Amino acid sequence: MGLLARLDRFVHAARLDVLTPYGRRRRRNLRWLPLVVIAAIAIGYGLQAGAARGGLSWQTGVAGGLVFYAAFLAANVMPLFGPRMSPSDGRMLDEREALLRARAASLSGTAFTILVVTGCFYFAIASTFDAWVPQGPLEWACLGVGLQAYALVLPMLAASWMQPALDEEEAV
Amino acid sequence: MGSRCVTARITVILVTVCCVYTTDCYTSAVFNRIALMRADRGISRRDLAGAVGVNPQTIGYLERGDYKPSLELAMRIAGHFGVPVEMIFSFSPFEPVARTLMRGKEAA
């Protein structure tokens, strides 16, 4: 058996094929889990930044980093199990799903824009009040990673709340 | 007092934005007989979904009145059952089947 075949068998045995574009996934409304991810991103970032500035122990900083990157990973994987927002599972979006995606993207886009604009104004005046501002490449890079995670999770969160609950027959 | 007022206003704005985005206040309800027609013909949701080109979940949402179809989808569903579109979709609730049967029996 070749290496590629072995890798295929491993992926199938470990059930990792559920993460591939053609994997069959059980989709459902994820109404609370994205909120946990959003909170974990913020908390992990805060702990990391606090430790980097010497306010917290390095162990706390490592724990914060683990929480942050675990939440980022979850933000990347979670959309595969929430409401369908893009063609997947070998099927195109139908008209209801396309409408749901449009409304969820509109709402989450508005929320994201408000978040970013508020952040920009905050950074503009924070130094005046000697308030916290990201410093150094690591903090800025993590801020970007965190915003990317929010951009991934917010549309799914909005769609999960807009879409009525699925019954057992439908949650496939 | 001032900060509470600002917080209250921000909350009202956010709630209003969420309501506008999440509710469908400008259109009336559309009632349908899809479940009845489907049961009558012995067709599963999956079969009907495949025939009209949507996902089975969408048929479930249609049957429960959680989603209003486009004219194209409504006509495809009506075409699949071979009936006029107004026999399946209506702006007013349909008469229960039991009452229709009783009326038919009384008329006979």
Q: Identify whether B94 is part of a domain.
A: yes
> Residues of B with CB below 8 A from A169's CB?
45, 60
> Residues of A with CB below 8 A from B74's CB?
none
Q: Is B89 helix (H, G, I), strand (E, B) or coil?
A: strand
Total domains, chain B = 1
Which of A58, A86, A110 lies closest to B13, judged by CA? Answer: A110
Residue A57: DSSP 8-state: -
Q: Which helix (H) or strand (E) holds A48?
A: helix A33-52
- What does the pLDDT average to over A56-65? 93
- What does the pLDDT average to over B24-42? 84
pLDDT digits (tens, 9 = 90+) for B36-90: 999 999 999 999 999 999 998 899 999 998 899 999 999 999 999 999 999 999 9
Say yes or no for a CB contact (<8 Å) between A96 and B54. yes
Q: Identify whether B26 is part of a domain.
A: no
Report the residue of chain A nearest B60, measured CA to CA: A170
> Residues of A with CB below 8 A from B22's CB?
107, 161-162
ipTM: 0.71
- Most B CBs within 10 Å: which of A26, A89, A96, A162, as the mutation test of the B interface? A96
The two beta strands, B31-32 and B89-90, are antiparallel
- Concatenate the DSSP letters of all residues of B52-75 into one string: HTS-HHHHHHHHHTS-PPPHHHHH
- Identity at A26, one-letter amino acid code: R
B79: containing domain: 31-107
Q: Identify whether B1 is part of a domain.
A: no
> Residues of A with CB below 8 A from B66's CB?
164
List the single residue in B53, B57, B72 with the smallest CB-CB distance to A166: B57
Of the pLDDT bands very low, low, confident and very high (cuts 50, 70, 90), residue A62 is: very high
Contact B90, B30 (CB under 8 A): yes
List the single residue in B22, B54, B57 with the smallest CB-CB distance to A161: B22
CATH code of B53's domain:
1.10.260.40
pLDDT digits (tens, 9 = 90+) for A83-95: 988 887 777 899 9
Q: Identify whether B96 is part of a domain.
A: yes
Residue B99 sits at the chain A interface (C-beta within 8 Å): no
- What does the pLDDT average to over B18-34? 71
Q: Identify whether B22 is part of a domain.
A: no
pLDDT the model gives residue B27: 63
pLDDT the model gives residue A96: 94
Q: Identify whether B40 is part of a domain.
A: yes
Residue A106 sits at the chain B interface (C-beta within 8 Å): yes
Q: Identify whether B82 is part of a domain.
A: yes
Of the pLDDT bands very low, low, confident and very high (cuts 50, 70, 90), residue A124 is: very high
Query: Looking at the predicted structure, is the pLDDT value of residue B26 above 60?
Result: no
